[in-house]
Amino acid sequence: MTAERLRIVRGREWARPVRPARREVLSAVPELEEGRPPLLFVPGFGHGAWAFAEHWLEYAASRGFPAHALSMRGHGGSEPAPEATLRSYTHDVVQVAARLPRRVVLVGHGAGARVVAHALARYPVRAAVLVAPVLGGWGTFGTALRRNPVGTLPAVFGGGLRLSRRQLFSRELPDGQARQYVSRLGRAGRRAQWQLLTGREPEPAVGRPPVLVLGSPDDRVVPPAALTRAARRYASAPLLFPGMGHDLMLDARWREPIDAILDWLEKDPAPTAG
């Protein structure tokens, strides 16, 4: 058995399996099957599959990509899970990905990008995309505390992390629409929130797949330096969309980043050598 295989099958997973959970998956498929890899969108903490169903799912399908969005346990229409952990979120992603007919492209947003980074060590993806990635650590906490102290401090003591309209969206998005989106936000499990701040770094990805990192230099959740660090981890540079907020998939110019993602995939990026 190879070392890479050993990273996928771990003794702890067999000895202490993750509890099964009912998961919501929303899908949009092309009218004509073209054999393109399916996309699995993984939303950030507090968001559900609805965040991608608003625009990106149907748009990706219109360009020939089968598109699916997962609500991790405790989010969206999935079953409640107040004690969920990053491990259980990762399990949700891997389980859904493994049931799709072809190797998927994982697309993680915000803290969902951290979950995707962990999933890459357990599932051999075709490629991955990290959108405005919140990869965790105390640097992430410090940034959140400076920019949103009222919404961030409760998360340290087991409360919910609250994000504001100003953090998530640009001024281009109409206030009514922004308020509607903010009202739909839920909360992650308190253990998962804490692990995002203190947890270990993700293990290396299986098979060294190509990874695209994108975000906005005007994001009030993820600073430009964090985007650069995330991209360097995968030997690339971030693709930037100035003037957009953290929730690129819901902001006024939502079409620009999804076009960039699909254009990149249509070039059929090759796995990284080595």
Choose among 90, 135, 166, 123: nearest CA to 9.
Answer: 123
Tokens matching residue 221: 């959740």
Check if the beta carbon of residue 245 is closer than 8 Å to that of residue 167: yes
If one counts the domains in the chain, the total is 1
191 or 23: whose pLDDT is higher?
23
105 within domain boundaries: yes
Supply the CATH number for residue 244's domain.
3.40.50.1820
pLDDT digits (tens, 9 = 90+) for 114-170: 999 999 999 999 999 999 999 865 455 555 555 555 445 455 545 556 678 888 999
Report the predicted TM-score, pTM, of the whole model to 2 decimal places: 0.88
Alpha carbon distances (Å) from 105 to 29, 114, 242: 15, 15, 25
7 within domain boundaries: yes
pLDDT at position 16: 75
Confidence of residue 269 (pLDDT cuts 50, 70, 90): confident
Mean per-residue pLDDT over the chain, rounded: 86
Choose among 35, 77, 78, 41: nearest CA to 59.
Answer: 41
Which residues form the domain of 37?
3-266
33 within domain boundaries: yes
pLDDT at position 256: 98
pLDDT over threshold 70, residue 246: yes
CA separation for the pair 168, 251 (Å, rounded): 8
CA separation for the pair 150, 18 (Å, rounded): 33
Residue 229, amino acid: R
